[in-house]
Structure formats: C-alpha cells, structure tokens
Structure 1
Amino acid sequence: MTLRSKLGVALLALCVSLPALAMNLEQAMAALGAAKAQGLVGEQPNGYLGVVGNGGQAADIASQINAARRAQYQKVASDSGAKLSDVESVAGQKAMERTPAGQYIQVNGKWVRK
C-alpha cells in the first residue's frame, strides 16, 4: 500500500469516526446544568449560551443548544410577526434573570458571576 493510500484510509477512518464523537442535542441538554455549575457556559443578553471557560465539551454544548434556541426563536418570530432580534433579546433577558446565583451571565461584554 502506498503512502498516499495509507493517508486516504486514515482520513476516511477519521471522517467516519468524527460524527460519533459529536454531541447531540439530548446529550447537550443533559450536560447543560453541570456545565453552567462548573462555570463553563453562561447566558448572554442575545438569548444564546456563551463559552465562559474552555473545558469539557463547553463549545459543543453551547453549539447544540444555541442551534435549537435559534430554531425556536425563528419560529416564535415568524408566528408572532416580531423581529428575530427582538425575540432573541427578550429570551436573553429572561434567561439571565432565571440564572441562579453563582452561575455566569454576560454583562456589557464581560462574564460575571450572578
């Protein structure tokens, strides 16, 4: 087997295994509470999660949940005739208000413990 063939096989194996490593929405939802408690992710005023500290699967958790939130916000905006940015802002404000003490929220672009 040539070097090129070996690299091709290795690349194919990597591509096949990557989807198995990716987190799905259900797993992200299950991990969200712990990630917030550990200070890895926090709520932002724009209605989406942000990564506070790189650790564990913080980026994957935020990405999966943000995609689901974005879809829900778009549905609410479409159903109500509101602008998407308005729906995101209201959702962000509510999420930040509901965030328990000790967890992170973003205020004026900076992460702070509530």
Structure 2
Amino acid sequence: MKTVHKLLLSSVFAISLPLLAMDLQQAMSALGPAKTQGLVGEQPNGYLGVVSSSAQAKEIADLINQARKAEYQKLAAKNGIQLSDVEAIAGKKAIEKTEAGQFIQLNGQWLKK
C-alpha cells in the first residue's frame, strides 16, 4: 500500500510541477540564455534588471536578485562596510564580466556591450 501512495504522490507532484514557480536553481540555469536573448542585463547597483519585459525575465531577475542581496548583506556584515558599497563593487564587476552582445545599464539606459 505504501508503494501505491508514493507512486500516487509522485504522479500528483509531477503533474503540478509546471504550475509551480521557478526556483533559484532553475533561475540560475535560465540566466545565461536570458542574457543572450536580451531579456535581462547587469546594472551598476549589482542587481539584474529586466531589459525586455516578460514574466520569465522578471522571475529570473527577482530570484537571482534576492540571492545576490542575501550574499551582499553577508559580505557587508563580514567586512564592516555598507551594503551599498558591496552592491556598487558587485555591479562594477558584473558589468566588466558581461559578455559582448549582452545588455548593461549605464546612466539609466540599456546598452549592448
């Protein structure tokens, strides 16, 4: 009987999966293609921005930005500096690392690098 319940539960879970929101791992996997497609880009504040409005782009940016902020807060606390300083440093590095053809935000404008 336990096997039947497990099978039933796994089937219900598999059916409901597409209805669930994206998780951080899925967002990380989707980030490269989203950048290549021009959906999201790097901003000077250390966070992703939505270049081409879509629900998927917003979800990717939101999930990754939440994780980035948590990491930035840890770094700020560990080093005794302001969160805004960590964000600015991270933003500069992210823009520098952005590949040619992907979007970055400079002076409030989205530009292809």
TM bucket normalised to smaller: 0.7 to 0.9
- Give the superposition deviation at 1:22: 1.0
1:34 deviation in Å? Answer: 0.2
> What's the TM-score once normalised by structure 2's chain length?
0.82
Partner of 2:37: 38
**Residues in 2 aligned to 1:100 and 1:56: alpha-carbon distance in whole angstroms:** 24
Please list every run of 5 or more consecutive structure 1 residues that lacks an aligned counterpart in the other structure. 1-16
2:58 aligned residue: 59
Q: State the AA in 1 paired with 2:91.
A: G
Secondary structure of the 2:41 match is strand
| Distance in 1 between residues matched to 2:55 and 2:44, nearest whole Å | 24
TM-score by length of 1: 0.82
Q: 1:27 and 2:33 equivalent?
A: no
CA RMSD of aligned residues (A): 1.7
Q: Percent identity?
A: 65
C-alpha deviation, 1:55, in angstroms: 3.2
Q: Deviations over 1:12-57 (max 9, x none)?
A: xxxxx7xx43111000000000000000000000000000002361
